[in-house]
Amino acid sequence: MSENISPFAPDEFPTLPPLRGFTMATAEAGVKYRARTDLWVLRCDPGTQVAGVFTQNRCPGAPVDWSRKALRATSGGPRLVVVNSGTANVFSGQAGRDAVLETARGAAHAFGGSPDTVQIASTGVIGVALKAEKLVAQFSDMADRLAPDGWAAAARAIMTTDTFAKGTTQTAMIGDTRVTLNGIAKGSGMIAPDMATMLAYIATDAAIDAATLQSLLAEFTGPTFNSVTVDSDTSTSDTLLLLASGAAGNSDDDLTDFRRALHAVMFELSQQIVRDGEGISKLITIKVSGAVSDTSAHVIAKSVANSPLVKTAVAGEDANWGRIVMAVGKAGEPAERDALSIHIGPHLLATKGQPDPNYHEEMGATYMKQREIEFHIDLGLGDGAATVYASDLTHAYIDINADYRS
Amino acid sequence: MSENISPFAPDEFPTLPPLRGFTMATAEAGVKYRARTDLWVLRCDPGTQVAGVFTQNRCPGAPVDWSRKALRATSGGPRLVVVNSGTANVFSGQAGRDAVLETARGAAHAFGGSPDTVQIASTGVIGVALKAEKLVAQFSDMADRLAPDGWAAAARAIMTTDTFAKGTTQTAMIGDTRVTLNGIAKGSGMIAPDMATMLAYIATDAAIDAATLQSLLAEFTGPTFNSVTVDSDTSTSDTLLLLASGAAGNSDDDLTDFRRALHAVMFELSQQIVRDGEGISKLITIKVSGAVSDTSAHVIAKSVANSPLVKTAVAGEDANWGRIVMAVGKAGEPAERDALSIHIGPHLLATKGQPDPNYHEEMGATYMKQREIEFHIDLGLGDGAATVYASDLTHAYIDINADYRS
Distance from CA of A358 to the nearest CA of B (A): 14
- Report, in angstroms and rounded to the nearest whole number, the Rg of chain A calculated over CA atoms: 22
The rounded distance, in Å, linking the Cα atoms of B266 and B317 is: 30
The pLDDT assigned to A405 comes to 56
Catalytic residues of B: 197
Q: Is B14 exposed, middle or buried (0-12, 13-18, 19+ CB in 10 A)?
A: middle
CATH architecture of structural domain A283-402 = Roll (3.10)
Domain boundaries of chain B, sorted by first residue:
22-274, 283-402
CA of A127: which chain B residue's CA is closest? B322
**For the segment B127-153, what is each residue's pLDDT rounded down to a tens digit?**
788 999 999 999 999 999 999 999 999
CB-based contact A214:A51 (threshold 8 Å): yes
Asked if A243 is an interface residue toward chain B (Cβ–Cβ < 8 A), one would say no
Any bridge partners for residue B354, and if so which?
Answer: B351
Asked if B393 is an interface residue toward chain A (Cβ–Cβ < 8 A), one would say yes
Q: How far is CA A386 from CA A53, A228, B370, in A?
A: 21, 11, 44
Amino acid symbol at A7: P
For residue B90, list chain A residues with Cβ-Cβ distance below 8 A. Answer: 322, 325-326
The pLDDT assigned to A2 comes to 44
Please identify among residues 248-287 of chain B the ones whose CB lies closer than 8 Å to any CB of chain A.
none
For residue A306, list chain B residues with Cβ-Cβ distance below 8 A. Answer: 232
CA of A96: which chain B residue's CA is closest? B354
Asked if A15 is an interface residue toward chain B (Cβ–Cβ < 8 A), one would say no
Q: How far is CA A14 from CA A10, A41, A168, A182, in A?
A: 9, 20, 6, 10
Could you tell me the mean pLDDT of each successive run of 10 residues in chain B, 406 residues long? Answer: 74 93 96 94 94 84 92 92 91 91 98 96 86 97 97 94 89 91 84 59 89 90 82 74 88 88 89 86 95 95 92 92 88 90 93 88 92 95 94 88 64
The rounded distance, in Å, linking the Cα atoms of A121 and A264 is: 24
Half-sphere exposure of B116 (CA within 13 A, CB side): 7
Asked if B365 is an interface residue toward chain A (Cβ–Cβ < 8 A), one would say no
Tally Cβ neighbours within 10 Å of residue A280: 26
Q: Do B326 and A355 touch (CB under 8 A)?
A: no
Q: Going edge to edge, which strands form the sheet with B119-125?
A: B22-27, B39-44, B79-87, B119-125
CB-based contact A155:A187 (threshold 8 Å): no
**For the segment A269-296, what is each residue's pLDDT rounded down to a tens digit?**
888 888 888 888 999 999 999 999 999 9
Distance from CA of B31 to the nearest CA of A (A): 18
The pLDDT assigned to A300 comes to 95
3-state DSSP call for residue B181? strand
Nearest to A57 by CA among A186, A188, A191: A191
The rounded distance, in Å, linking the Cα atoms of B100 and B96 is: 6
CATH architecture of structural domain A22-275 = 4-Layer Sandwich (3.60)
The pLDDT assigned to A3 comes to 58
**For the segment B75-96, what is each residue's pLDDT rounded down to a tens digit?**
889 999 999 999 888 888 899 9
Distance from CA of B128 to the nearest CA of A (A): 8
For residue B58, list chain A residues with Cβ-Cβ distance below 8 A. Answer: 328-337
Q: How far is CA A36 from CA A43, A138, B69, B145, in A?
A: 21, 14, 65, 73
The pLDDT assigned to A191 comes to 67
- Residue B403: which of A231, A232, A316 has the nearest Cβ? A316
Q: Which of A163, A197, A204, A221 is catalytic?
A: A197
Asked if A87 is an interface residue toward chain B (Cβ–Cβ < 8 A), one would say no
Residue set of the binding site of B? 160, 186, 197, 278, 401, 406
Q: How high is the ipTM of this complex?
A: 0.79
The rounded distance, in Å, linking the Cα atoms of A215 and A166 is: 24
Q: Do A394 and B394 touch (CB under 8 A)?
A: no
Q: Do A395 and B394 touch (CB under 8 A)?
A: no
The pLDDT assigned to B196 comes to 39
- Residue B355: which of A127, A190, A321 has the nearest Cβ? A127
- Residue B329: which of A236, A340, A397 has the nearest Cβ? A236
Distance from CA of A239 to the nearest CA of B (A): 15
User: Please, what is the average pLDDT of chain A?
Assistant: 89
CA of A395: which chain B residue's CA is closest? B395
Q: Which fold has domain B22-274?
A: L-amino peptidase D-ALA esterase/amidase (3.60.70)
CA A102 from chain center: how many Å?
Answer: 27
Q: How far is CA A299 from CA A161, A185, A295, B397, in A?
A: 27, 25, 6, 25
The rounded distance, in Å, linking the Cα atoms of B119 and A67 is: 59
3-state DSSP call for residue B173? strand
Asked if A394 is an interface residue toward chain B (Cβ–Cβ < 8 A), one would say yes
Q: What are the residue ranges in chain A where pLDDT is below 50?
A: 1-2, 195-197, 406
- Residue B398: which of A234, A315, A318 has the nearest Cβ? A315
Distance from CA of B105 to the nearest CA of A (A): 23
**DSSP code at position B147:** B
The rounded distance, in Å, linking the Cα atoms of B320 and B45 is: 54
The pLDDT assigned to A195 comes to 40
Any bridge partners for residue A199, and if so which?
Answer: A186, A239
